[in-house]
Structure formats: C-alpha cells, structure tokens
Amino acid sequence: MRERPDGAREGRLLAALAAGDRTAAEELVERTYRGVFSLLSRLCGDPDLAADLTQETYRKAWAALPAFDGRAQFSTWLFRIAYTTFLNHLRRPRRLVPLDERHEAAVPDPAPAADAEVDRMAAGGRLRRAVLALPEELRFTVTALFWGDLPVKEVARHEGVTTVAIRKRLKRALERLALALEEEDVR
Amino acid sequence: MSRLSERKVRDIARKLGESPSYGPPAGLLEKIKSEIPPEVTVGAAFNARRSAVPRQRWLIAASLVAAVGAGLVGLRTWESRQAGGLEKQALRQVAAPQSPAAPQPVPPATSGAPQRLSPPPPPPPAVAQLQREEATAAPVTQEVPKPEPELRKELDSLGEAKQAQRTAPAVPESPPAPPAPPAASSGNLAGAERQAEARVEGSVVVGGVAGGAPAGAPSKKAQDAPEAQPPVEALRLDSGAPRAKAERPRSGAAFRFQRAGADPFVDTEAYRLSTFGLHVDTASYEAARRDLLAGRLPDPDSVRVEEWVNAFDYGDPAPARRDFALRAEGAPPPFAHGPGRRLLRFNVKARQAKAGEPDGAIVAGSAGAQVEFNSVVVARYRLLGYEGLPAARPHETTAAAGQIGAGQSVTALYEIELRPDAPRWEQPVATLRLYYREAGGRYAAQELRRVGFQDLAPAWEQASPGLRLASLVAELAEILKGSPWTRGDDLRLVARRLQEVAREFPGNARVAELAELAARAARLKASAP
C-alpha cells in the first residue's frame, strides 16, 4: 500500500525547488512516482508501457510546472497529467486514419475510441475496459478515486465542482459499470 | 435500482479498489531522476499563493490579538467610566447639602462597581477641583449619544482623512481624483473592491467587474510562451512585483490605471478548465472612445480587452423558451499568430424580461461559466482579457458567482492552438457550461454547449459577422494595450477590416464609429514618436 500524498510536505518541497534546491525535485519524484506508475499500470494493463508513460508524465510535468499554482496538491496535478498522457497515447495511432469530414460530429464522446483501442491490447480485464468505456467525466472520477487514491475533496477541487457532484458522478459511474458488466455476462 | 443491482454496485466498488497494480520496475526511479532538467521553474502563482498563506495566518492571529486587546481596553474604559461616574456622583453628594427630596443615586447592577460606591469622603480641595472640572469640561461628563447619521459622518470624515494620509505620498501635487466613470461604479462587489483598492493606492481603476480566470482548479495562467515570443516575465507584466502604475496617463486624465499585463497560453494537459465572469463592464472602451474622439491614443494600461469585446452587440439571439442561450463558434484569427491557432467565441445570453417583470429582472440569482478544453485536440489556450481578475468559481452558485439580469449578454474569446495531429472526428474541441441558480431557487441548473470541428470556420473570412467583429475588436484592443500576442500586427489593416465588417452591421452606428476610431488610432499611432 503506497502512502497517501502529503500536501504540506509537497508544498515545502516545491518551495525548496523554487529556491533552487534540485534535491527537492528528486524527493518529489521519490514520493510520487510509485503512485503515478500504479495508476498508469492499472489504466493500461502493461507494465512496460506504464513505465514509459510515467517517464513521459514527469517530462511534461517539469515543462508545465511554471503553470502550477498550488491550488490543488502537486500529486493531484501530476495525476491529471499522467491520466491525460495515457489518453493521448491511447488515441495516437488513430490519428493517422483518415475519415470523411462529413462524419466528424457523428460520435460526440471520445470514450468509444478509447474502448476500441484498449480492446486491442493484449492484457487488460473486463473491468478496466468497462472503466475506459465510461464517458470522460465519469471515467476520470473513477480512476482518480480508485486508481489514483485521491481524496474526494482533492478531485472536486481539481475538477472545479463540489464534493457532492463528485459523489453523484461516482454513483452514476458505478451503476454504469455494474450494468455494462451485467450485459457482458448475458452475452 | 434493485437490491441485486445495489449489491453489484458495491461489488464493483470493491473490485475497483482491489484491482491489481504492478510495482515500478527497477531503474525507473533513476531514469526519471536523470531527466529532471538542470533548472526547474515553479509557477509564480504558486510562490505568491504560498507566501500569502503564512501572511494570512499572521493577519488572522494579529486580528485576534487586536480584537481581544480592544475588548479588554473597552471593558476597562467602560468600568472606569462607570466607576468615575459613581465617584463623581458620590462626591457631588458630599459636596452638596443633602436634600430630603433629592433622589438617591441608584447603583448600577454591575459587578465590581459596588466596591467603589462608598469611597471615603474626599477632602474639600478635591471637591472644588471636581466642580471646576465639571464647569470647564461639561461635554465630557454629559455623554449624550449622537444620532447615527452624525456618527456615520464622523466615520466617513475619519476614513477620508486616513485615505488622504495614505494617498498623499502616493500622488504628490496631483489634483483631486475625479469621480470614476459612470460605468465603473456599478453595484457589483468585485468592482467596488477594485475601486476601493485603487483609491487606497491613489488611482482609479477604469475596469470591469467580471471575474475571469484560467483553469477550474488554477487561478493563474501558465507561462507557456511559444517560440519567437517574448519571455514569460515580459508577458506577465505584473507578476511577482507590485502592480505597475502609469506615472502620467497619456490621456491627460487625473487618474491612473493598474496595468493588468497579458496572460500567457495555458497547457491543456495541466489545466483544461477555464472560467470567465458574466459581469463585464464597458468603461474601458468608453474611456478609450472619448480619448480617440479627442484625438488622443488611450493609455495602454486603461485598455481591458474583455470590456472592449463586451461593448458591442454581436447579434446573438435571445433564447426562445429557456432562460439562457449558449453560443459557441470558432475560426482562424484575423492575423496569423502561429500554426494551428483558432479563435473561439462563446456567448451567454439571458432571456428577455417576461411580461410584468421589471427591467433587468433577475434571471439567475447566481451563475458562472466554465469552458473545458479537450486536451486531445487543443494543446493550449489563452483567454483574451480578464487579466488579474479574481477567479470565478462557476460551480459555486452563490452570489459571488454573479447575477444575470434579463437580456444580459456576455462574450468571451479564447485563442487556442490545435495539436498538429489532432483527430478531427469524434472529438469536441471545447465545452461551454453555464451553472446557474434561479433567484431564490434552491437547486442549481446547468446549460451546456459543445464546440466541435464542425463549428470552426475554415477561414476567418468565412466566419460569422459576429465572430469577425469580435475578433477585430479584441485585436484592436490588444494592439492598443501593447499585448505581446499582437506584436507586429498592423493597426491600419485592422481598421480596414473593421470598415468591411461594419457594412454587415447596417444601421449599427456604434460599429461604424468603431471602424472610424480604429482608423483614427492607426493615424495617431503612425504619427506617434
């Protein structure tokens, strides 16, 4: 069981980093990389790929750190980058496929694309596929709470909604997941 | 939901919690550490926030100490007054011959006072001194409560005196500040705060009221300057340091403006949510209009892009049945600023007043707008204007989020950069959400409008007249403001395009005048040293 992110400690490390203490960056990595890797491995089901994406996540984080304002915890912010990095990776191969522009608006939600892509992955369970097939809002909530181990309050703060809204999203997501897995069982 | 389903839902939650994860492979930590860049920059917003927290704690602690201290001093004063009054009464009794009809002093029902009720008889000189004191300082002993308006006047004059003390060193030998322009003195709380702040600093802010902010979580925009762009420090003119003030505005007015700076682009992978305020003043445009009509260029610090953009009606239709109409569209910007750039225009318009409703009746007691960018499609974005304003919190449908009256309309512009390999199907580019609660209503509602690729015009010339006009208004404002994002853009070309667009708004004298003002600004700029 990995440790819960310590927001106060992260804040102190970032302050040290801002003051030019490079070892603070190393400690930040040490404190967060297990969580990032754990999330990515649960998302993609492939430890090698998860390791690559973890490295990519940190590369993006260093580049985007000037934008970090400290409203959410560093680990929450890092989680979002890791999550988006995974989604972007998932969609990368499909970008090469041409499509008639007349059909651009046919499917409003990006989730089916993610689902189809993940389907091709060798590893991965039914639950993971079902999670990835959720609409973005619900998918993020489930992954942040269960696979990112983030507190509801932090997710709400980062998403710009209330904790009640996050709980409602979670309820909807779990119902959908139950339904999806039930339908799969019937088939 | 049936009991079986409920159990299944709980089962799903348990499985999610137990879903297996791998341990990180050996060497991963070292690889990540080796990629830490030699110099890592932490956001100025984070530093400001962090330094603000201890300061806030000190302020709270100091306030508590001051409050307790004031309470103690007040209590002692009250006690001494009570005791003093009783002593004086007792002395009077001693000094004056006792009359059988004279009423006996009634001791107050306070603890502590009775011990002082029976002082030893004072010597006669003290009585004489007391009587002299009473004769010369009668008002002090006669504590007649002042009527409330008088107290208010005193407080106001005290406040003015303090303000004069504070402002005097800031603006030496300056004429008294004129009243703020009418539009700037709206009843909005945020506007009042800004004005108050400006008054303390010896300047008057002509400015809007809306709270514009970048991401849902973040409040300050990221520094993500593109290549061939000025460094971030140059972009964020007010970052880190106290806000710069123009020493003497070019417009010749006696007030000064706070420089808002220009916000940089925000990386959507870090922050994909952005909010903008629904209350936007137009005072900045009106002030600039007066300057240009008088043959002067406006003070760059006075130009607020969002106030210019919202000074015009883009012909967005009011909703037929619902309370709000949301509109979203996009096109390439009028001037090429970089590859993949698009300009998005969002408009929120409230319904007209219903029959029997007073003018400006409240449609929503509180409301806020939020834009979510799809990070798969959009690499980064910037909100035009709204710099330095407090973050709107759209999900908090409280009064702080802002009220919307009937017929009210607000337009926000974003410049976005599409990813070069962005998938052009299935994907929304951005989603506009309006959270609101009816006046007195208990539940919050939400309106939503998605922008897809189908909503993006292939060329600026093919965009709607509203989008073209809005983009040119923003362009003009940004050039006059000296924004680094429009550096090199030709004001004469803006003026020419505005004249063309004005023809599509027949009968709209305001747009026609703007085209003329832009031409005038171009001439003034060309002749400026």
Which of B49, B216, B425 comes nearest A103 by C-beta? B425
Average pLDDT on B92-114 reads 40
How would residue B105 be classed by pLDDT, with cut points 50, 70 and 90?
very low
How high is the pLDDT of residue B159?
39
How high is the pLDDT of residue A169?
92
Q: Which residues pair with B414 in a beta bridge?
A: B344, B383
CA distance B470 to B313: 9
- Does residue B137 surpass a pLDDT of 90? no
CA distances from A166 to A103, A137, A156, B96, B147 (A): 33, 10, 6, 79, 53
Four-residue CA torsion sign, A42, A156, B369, B381: negative
Which residues 332-371 in chain B show a CB within 8 A of chain A?
370
The alpha-carbon gap from A183 to the nearest alpha carbon of chain B, in Å, equals 12
How would residue B126 be classed by pLDDT, with cut points 50, 70 and 90?
very low
The beta strands (E) that lie in B333-408 are given as 341-350, 362-364, 366-373, 378-383, 404-405
Partner-chain contact B19 A142, CB within 8 Å: no
How would residue B165 be classed by pLDDT, with cut points 50, 70 and 90?
very low
- Does residue B109 surpass a pLDDT of 70? no
Taking contacts as CB-CB distances below 8 angstroms, the residues of chain A near B40 are: 17, 22, 25, 62, 65
CA distance B517 to B502: 12
Highest-confidence segment of B34-43, B232-241, B476-485: B476-485
Is B437:B367 a contact under the CB 8 Å cutoff? yes
Partner-chain contact B217 A159, CB within 8 Å: yes
Q: Which residue has the higher pLDDT, B116 or A137?
A: A137
Average pLDDT on A176-186 reads 79
CA distance B451 to B456: 8
Interface check for B249 against chain A (CB to CB < 8 A): the answer is: no
How high is the pLDDT of residue B134?
40
For a pLDDT cut of 90, what percent of chain A falls above it? Answer: 23
CA distances from B35 to A153, B40, B506 (A): 32, 11, 59
Average pLDDT on A100-123 reads 42
Average pLDDT on B81-102 reads 48
Partner-chain contact B424 A101, CB within 8 Å: yes
- Does residue B431 surpass a pLDDT of 60? yes
Taking contacts as CB-CB distances below 8 angstroms, the residues of chain A near B24 are: 33-34, 37-38, 51, 54
Number of Cβ atoms within 10 Å of the Cβ of B3: 7
The four Cα atoms A87, A92, A94, A95 give a dihedral, to 10 degrees, of 120
Closest listed residue to residue B256, CA positions, set B188, B200, B183: B200
How high is the pLDDT of residue B457?
92
How high is the pLDDT of residue B389?
60
Task: Count how many pairs of residues, chain A against chain B, have C-beta atoms within 8 Å.
Answer: 230
Q: B338 — alpha (psi -120 to 50), left (phi > 0) or beta?
A: left
How high is the pLDDT of residue B355?
78
Structure tokens that stand for B29 in this block = 């930590």
Taking contacts as CB-CB distances below 8 angstroms, the residues of chain B near A105 are: 452-454
Q: Which residue has the higher pLDDT, B3 or A8?
A: A8
- Does residue A105 surpass a pLDDT of 50? no
How high is the pLDDT of residue A118?
47
pTM score above 0.95: no
Interface check for B397 against chain A (CB to CB < 8 A): the answer is: no
Partner-chain contact A71 B17, CB within 8 Å: no
How high is the pLDDT of residue B255?
53
Q: Which residue has the higher pLDDT, A163 or B320?
A: A163
- Does residue A40 surpass a pLDDT of 60? yes
How would residue A166 be classed by pLDDT, with cut points 50, 70 and 90?
very high
Taking contacts as CB-CB distances below 8 angstroms, the residues of chain B near A48 are: 25
Vertex B401: Cα angle to B472 and A83 (nearest 5):
80
- Does residue B157 surpass a pLDDT of 50? no
User: Residue A162's closest chain B neighbor by CA?
Assistant: B395
Interface check for B420 against chain A (CB to CB < 8 A): the answer is: no
Range of lowest pLDDT (A19-23, A88-92, B291-295, B297-301): A88-92
Give per-residue pLDDT as tens, B226-254.
333 333 333 333 333 333 333 334 444 44
Give per-residue pLDDT as tens, B291-311.
999 999 999 989 999 999 999
Closest listed residue to residue A63, CA positions, set B37, B48, B383: B37
Give per-residue pLDDT as tens, B376-422.
889 999 999 887 665 544 444 443 456 778 888 899 999 999 988 77
How would residue B40 be classed by pLDDT, with cut points 50, 70 and 90?
confident
Give per-residue pLDDT as tens, B47-62.
766 665 555 566 667 7
Interface mutation vs chain B, best among A32, A40, A69, A185, most B CBs within 10 Å = A69
User: Residue B51's closest chain A neighbor by CA?
Assistant: A15
Range of lowest pLDDT (B104-113, B259-268, B416-425): B104-113
Partner-chain contact B217 A72, CB within 8 Å: yes
Structure tokens that stand for B148 in this block = 């409330």
Average pLDDT on B444-448 reads 80
Is A56:A85 a contact under the CB 8 Å cutoff? yes
Q: Which residue has the higher pLDDT, B130 or B59?
A: B59
Structure tokens that stand for A90 in this block = 């998932």
Number of Cβ atoms within 10 Å of the Cβ of B339: 9
The rounded mean pLDDT for chain B is 68
Taking contacts as CB-CB distances below 8 angstroms, the residues of chain B near A159 are: 216-217, 273
B124 φ/ψ angles, rounded to the nearest 5 degrees: -55, -40
Give per-residue pLDDT as tens, B309-341.
999 999 898 888 888 899 999 999 998 878 899
